[in-house]
Amino acid sequence: MSDLGDLARRSTELISTLQQPSGAYPASPTFSAYRGYCWFRDGSFIADGMSAAGEDGSADRFHDWCARTLETQRGRVESVVALVHSGRPAPPAQMLPARFAFDGGVGADPWWDFQLDGYGTWLWAVTAHARRHDRDLARWAGAITLVVDYLVASWERPCFDWWEEHDEQVHTSTLGCVGAGLEAVLRAGVLDARRAEAAGAAAAGIRALVAERATTEGRLTKWLGRSDVDGSLTALVAPLGWLDPAGPVAQRTVAEVERTLTYAGGVHRFADDVFYGGGQWPLLTGFLGLARLAAGDRAAAMASLRWMASTATADGDLPEQVDGHLLAPDHREQWVERWGPVATPLLWSHGQYLRLWHDLGRP
Ligand code: BGC
């Protein structure tokens, strides 16, 4: 599908058709390991793309699903917060999962579950959606305050990252997502004074920690104490807006992602990625495009959109990754044997395409 607008229309249609009656967005309808689940991370970015593209009802239904799902976890979150206050952090298994079944249940399949980023990203996405479409945030306020309490109590903990790896580390993208979410909610003015103070302290603590331990040569690093970058870091520039796009940290971080992780337009996750051979990810190329656009480089952002479109199948499905340039080709086959072909369509790829296409003025 070579027409950029046709692919955007196909993206909204695909996401709308696959959105569940409950409001959940499936990560990928047919991929064996993802079938039946909705991730807070994927879903929040998909909802953001739909909201930007004018599909506000779809985004409303997703955020309603998140809020209902979070309400079912209220007891769990309150006990996590109480444990922290008593000086004993909850075991990882007690923390919120990264993904839920479509009915809002936790599902029966084991997963690399303790991940904090999706909850921060949800706070950011729901407030951005409410501002964009003039929604009253009171609709989601109960769930928002619950998530704020959870993140304020937990943001410093190591957990799995965007890629569901390395739960022994504190990941910079995770910190940035949590910080962006807390700061978005603070700006929206929906917190009571006590919570606002706690959220403000956590948000400032995140900025201080990243400056001190996740910055090298004036740019961000993949996790605290490691020196290379991760492709997800560009999301902190745009759409999350946690880094000023014109500032030196954002510019050096984006430049390093371009220099070390981008090949012929498409972005890899990180240097030692072996998942399906470590290919290039359309959704990461979408984040790079948004960061380039936020810094004023429209031509480079258009090149990112075009590269994304070039990965679509004849039916207009965007995959999770493509294998034209693999970092670890010897590892590809073992993943195909384990989980089947690469997840296609991946709704998050379509959501990121929509957001970049919209921000570029719908070319
Ligand atoms: C990715 C995650 C994503 C999940 C569902 C995993 O392979 O690493 O970032 O949330 O798939 O799409």
Task: Report the CATH number that the domain containing residue 134 is assigned in CATH.
Answer: 1.50.10.10
Ligand 1: atom nearest CA of 162 is 9
Read off the pLDDT of residues 37-50 as tens digits, 9 standing for 90 and up: 999 999 999 999 99
pLDDT tens digits along 246-259: 999 999 999 999 99
pLDDT tens, residue by residue, 271-280? 999 999 999 9
- Examine the residue annotation and report whether 320 is marked as an active-site residue of this protein: yes
Beta partners for 267? 262, 281
What is residue 2's predicted lDDT score, i.e. its pLDDT? Answer: 67
Percent of the chain past pLDDT 90, that is, above it, reads 99
**Average pLDDT of the residues in 162-177:** 98
Q: Residue 236: what residue type? A: L
Catalytic one of 149, 183, 230, 320: 320
Interval 180-203 mean pLDDT: 98
Question: For ligand 1, is residue 163 a contact (CB within 6 Å)?
Answer: yes
Amino acid at 326: L
Report the chain's mean pLDDT, rounded to a whole number. 98
HEC string of the chain equals CCCHHHHHHHHHHHHHHHCCCCCCCCCCCCCCCCCCEEEHHHHHHHHHHHHHCCCHHHHHHHHHHHHHHHHHCHHHHHHHHHHHHCCCCCCHHHCCCCEEECCCCCCCCCCCCCCCHHHHHHHHHHHHHHHHCCCCHHHHHHHHHHHHHHHHHHCCCCCCCCCCCCCCCCEHHHHHHHHHHHHHHHHHCCCCHHHHHHHHHHHHHHHHHHHHHCEECCEECCECCCCCCCHHHHHHCCCCCCCCCCCHHHHHHHHHHHHHHEECCEEECCCCCCHHHCCEEHHHHHHHHHHHHHCCCHHHHHHHHHHHHHCCCCCCCCCCCECCCCCCHHHHHHHHHHHCCCCCCCHHHHHHHHHHHHHCCCC
Q: Structure pTM?
A: 0.98
Give the ligand 1 atom nearest the CA of 34.
Answer: 5
Task: Report the number of distinct structural domains present in the chain.
Answer: 1
Q: What angle do CA 336, 337, 338 make, to 5 degrees?
A: 95
At 83, which amino acid appears?
L
Report CA(346)–ligand 1 centroid distance (Å). 9
Active site residue 333: no
Mean pLDDT for the stretch of residues 288-309: 98
Q: Has residue 134 got a pLDDT over 90?
A: yes
Q: Is 84 exposed, middle or buried (0-12, 13-18, 19+ CB in 10 A)?
A: middle
The fraction of the chain above a pLDDT of 70, given in percent, is 99
Residues ≥6 apart with Cβ < 8 Å to 231? 257, 261, 267, 268, 269, 270, 281, 284, 287, 288
Per-residue confidence at 25, pLDDT binned at 50, 70, 90? Answer: very high
185 has a pLDDT exceeding 80: yes
Domain hosting residue 183, numbered range: 4-359
**Residue of minimum CA distance from atom 10 in ligand 1:** 42
* pLDDT band at 313; cut points 50, 70, 90: very high
Residue type, 169: Q
Cα gap 322→335, rounded to integer Å:
14
Please say if 256 is a catalytic residue. Answer: no
Q: Is the pLDDT of residue 1 over 80?
A: no
Ligand 1 atom nearest residue 98's Cα:
10
Q: Position 243: which residue type?
A: L
How high is the pLDDT of residue 157?
97
Query: Mean per-residue pLDDT for 205-232?
Result: 98
Mean per-residue pLDDT, 86-101: 96
Does the CB atom of residue 100 touch ligand 1 within 6 A? no
Residue 209 pLDDT: 98
